[in-house]
Amino acid sequence: MNAYTEARERVAEHSILVRPERSTVSEFCTELTTLTPELVATGISFAEACALLRTEFHADSRPWASWGAYDRQQFERQCAATEVPYPFGSRHTNAKLAFSASRGTGHRFGMAGALKAAELPLEGTHHRGGDDAWNIAALIIDMMRRGDWPE
């Protein structure tokens, strides 16, 4: 455990906007995330984002979590396809599975449902990466406080 996890509080919000290189932002995606084609055009490349995760956030030497396995698998596939070094360390926790196990129901909660079950507010725009990460951090902290977060 380090100072951040001991304090059990979120300390800073940060988002990295990645510019699509092989696709465009659809109307559906804009409705879901509020991200427009014009906005994502101002982002950085996937390779730059991965480098930033390693250099500024030391993601390669820290444990990390995501809601489900999709984000981890997507990073693995994208890194392999583009020959970009994987930016994260090997210690990944599937927070969705951890939360569901902590509830003992066998039900797999979506992030918004988990926030509701934990009586926590959904902050920001659901399905927008930075906001989802902020909300997932709140769920992880809640699990840590209850002794339900896997060490």
pLDDT in tens, 38-88: 999 999 999 999 999 999 999 999 999 999 999 999 999 999 999 999 999
Length in residues, the chain: 151
Q: What is the structure's pLDDT at 4?
A: 56
Burial label, 122 (beta-carbon count in 10 A; 0-12, 13-18, 19+): middle
How far is 83 from 95, CA to CA, in rounded Å? 27
**1: pLDDT strictly greater than 90:** no
pLDDT band at 139 (very low <50, low <70, confident <90, very high): very high
How far is 81 from 79, CA to CA, in rounded Å? 6
The mean predicted confidence, pLDDT, of the chain is 93
